[in-house]
Structure 1
Amino acid sequence: MDQLNIMRAEVAREHGITLYAQYNEQRAAHFLKLDLSTVRRNRRAGRVPYVQYGNGGVRFLGVMLCDYILFGADAVRLWGGETPDEGQAADAAE
């Protein structure tokens, strides 16, 4: 786990991300170098970790953004989720 934290810290430093700050979708899109609509689509599809915030709002912790930069859609596994492909495979097996 120490290696993961080292990698997160390095990515955060390179991208100007504060690991435990909360960011809205627009700032997340900026850090991820993606269009805002792409971030929203990926979040709704379960491809990017996020925190539910208030009345339907969402926030991204800096550490979540770093995980997405490092691991792409697999980052959701670090946060207790499953990648969309895993969810579809489980549904097909039932």
Structure 2
Amino acid sequence: MPREELVQAAEELKHASTNVSGDVKDRLESQADTLSDLAEADHGPDHGRLDRIMHSLSELKSDVDEETEERIESAYDHVKAHRETVSGV
């Protein structure tokens, strides 16, 4: 069963990656792939993993234009929403 918030986050990052190039494009695509994998994994990611992803997305926002930043922010919000459903810390 896919984790819908992570699927949505991955889609946002895939769209965001079409507007950039170089290292930023590679990082966005890598995060999108990671989120897609986590969405389909048998066991979901823990708080630490989600926090690292959210931190990475926050860093990426400073290297892009406004439209791409909005996509990254949307992805961040989806990851945050999923994180709120994870038990633990």
Larger Rg: 1
| Greater per-residue helix proportion | 2
More RCO (CA 8 Å, sep 6+): 2
TM, length-normalised to structure 2? 0.30
| Greater per-residue strand proportion | 1
